[in-house]
Amino acid sequence: MRLGVLDVGSNTVHLLVVDAHHGAHPWPAHSEKVVLRLAEQIGPDGALTDAGADGLVKAVGMAKAASAGLEADDLIAFATSAVRDATNAAEVLARVRDETGVRLAVLSGADEARMTFLAVRRWFGWSAGRLLVLDIGGGSLEIAAGIDEDPDVAVSLPLGAGRLTRERLQVDPASAAPPSAEAVDKLREYVDGRLDKVVDQMTEIGWGRAVGTSKTFRTLARLAGAAPSGAGLWARRSLTRAGLRQVIGFIRHIPPAQLMELEGVSAGRAHQLLAGAVVAEAVMRRLDLESLDICPWALREGVILRRLDQLEPM
């Protein structure tokens, strides 16, 4: 079957169309995204602004049309932390449904962690043993650990790169000056404090292989010397704690407007990179991880795999 997955995240609205069937590897047929930065369009009252809602409706409508044009058999649409946290989420979801015909399912943070864990488990296989999976998104940090396809523990913390950039570093994408050393130190202290309970919980569960996934970890790994995207999906990539510290050492002195000039850094997320790096370093340090394997599959692939699992084999 041809399956479309529409991911409404904190930074982008991403449509992925894959060809797959039950028990098979899903192969990408089409991918497109619109940068909306919904998390940055939450007003002082906690509601998604009218402009943000307008952009979302337009982007979802375009994605639906693209999916239909590619003759997708089904379209799974979901939203994560930006919509989940908005005080007017119900109204926004109703408007999207009424104007586009698309029903957006809002995933909880724990569900995000579970779906991402499933994708990582399928990618590395059973030989990977007990897994620890880390995912830094725009609005939240997901951590999951376990031996099966469903993790023993799945947690979500409000430590996304976009959220912390906006709320703690208060960095503008066009800023000509990097955040102050004091602001970065305060951010590190804040992240450490939020990790306290989770560190004990994860340490008790234990793991044999630690994995990082999604855009932030991939970008940090690339800056630390991992293979570029041109090396292909199957190239082995990793991120060491020592390499991450070196990355932080130089990006903290680079203005956000110039970070996008670095190889592997996307323009839409460049200003969030430092906050994401601080979170990555804190998690690796607190969990005593010297390195992470980088997985190319994440939440979208997990959603696809779960849907395929629900299909009756031919």
The DSSP letter of residue 144 is E
Are 137 and 71 found together in one domain?
no
The total number of residues shown for the chain amounts to 314
The pLDDT of residue 313 is: 58
Assess if residue 231 is contained within a domain.
yes
Are 177 and 206 found together in one domain?
yes
Are 64 and 131 found together in one domain?
no
Helix residue ranges per DSSP H, 125-180: 161-164
The dihedral built from the CA positions of residue 262, 266, 268 and 273, taken in this order, carries a sign that is negative
**Listed residues 106, 140, 164: the one ending a domain:** 106
Helix (H, G, I), strand (E, B) or coil at 138: coil
The dihedral built from the CA positions of residue 255, 166, 31 and 240, taken in this order, carries a sign that is positive
Assess if residue 169 is contained within a domain.
yes
**Listed residues 106, 139, 161: the one ending a domain:** 106
Ranges of residues in the chain whose predicted pLDDT is under 50: none
- Burial of residue 311, with CB atoms counted within 10 A of its CB: 0-12 exposed, 13-18 middle, 19 or more buried: middle
Domain that holds residue 117: 109-299
Assess if residue 314 is contained within a domain.
no
Assess if residue 312 is contained within a domain.
no
Cα distance between the two ends of the chain: 12
Tokens for 138? 């725009």
Here the CATH number for the domain that contains residue 272 is 3.30.420.150
Assess if residue 77 is contained within a domain.
yes
Tokens for 104? 């957006």
> What does the DSSP assignment read for 170-230?
---TT-SSPPPHHHHHHHHHHHHHHHHHHHHHHHHH--SEEEEESHHHHHHHHHTTPPPGG
Are 144 and 287 found together in one domain?
yes
* pLDDT tens, position by position, 148-185: 999 999 999 999 999 999 999 988 787 778 999 999 99
Are 97 and 229 found together in one domain?
no
Assess if residue 309 is contained within a domain.
no
Here the CATH number for the domain that contains residue 93 is 3.30.420.40
Q: Read off the pTM.
A: 0.95
Q: Is residue 148 left, alpha or beta, with left meaning phi > 0 and alpha meaning psi from -120 to 50? A: beta
The pLDDT of residue 222 is: 97
Helix (H, G, I), strand (E, B) or coil at 156: strand
Are 239 and 281 found together in one domain?
yes
Are 95 and 218 found together in one domain?
no
Are 210 and 231 found together in one domain?
yes
Are 30 and 44 found together in one domain?
yes
Tokens for 156? 């979500």
Are 269 and 292 found together in one domain?
yes
Are 142 and 264 found together in one domain?
yes
The pLDDT of residue 312 is: 59
The pLDDT of residue 310 is: 85
Assess if residue 45 is contained within a domain.
yes
Helix residue ranges per DSSP H, the chain: 50-69, 81-85, 89-100, 109-124, 161-164, 181-205, 215-223, 241-251, 256-259, 273-286, 299-309
Tokens for 65? 């049309």
How many domains does the chain divide into? 2
Assess if residue 83 is contained within a domain.
yes
Are 72 and 124 found together in one domain?
no
**Residue 204: other Cβ atoms inside 10 A:** 10
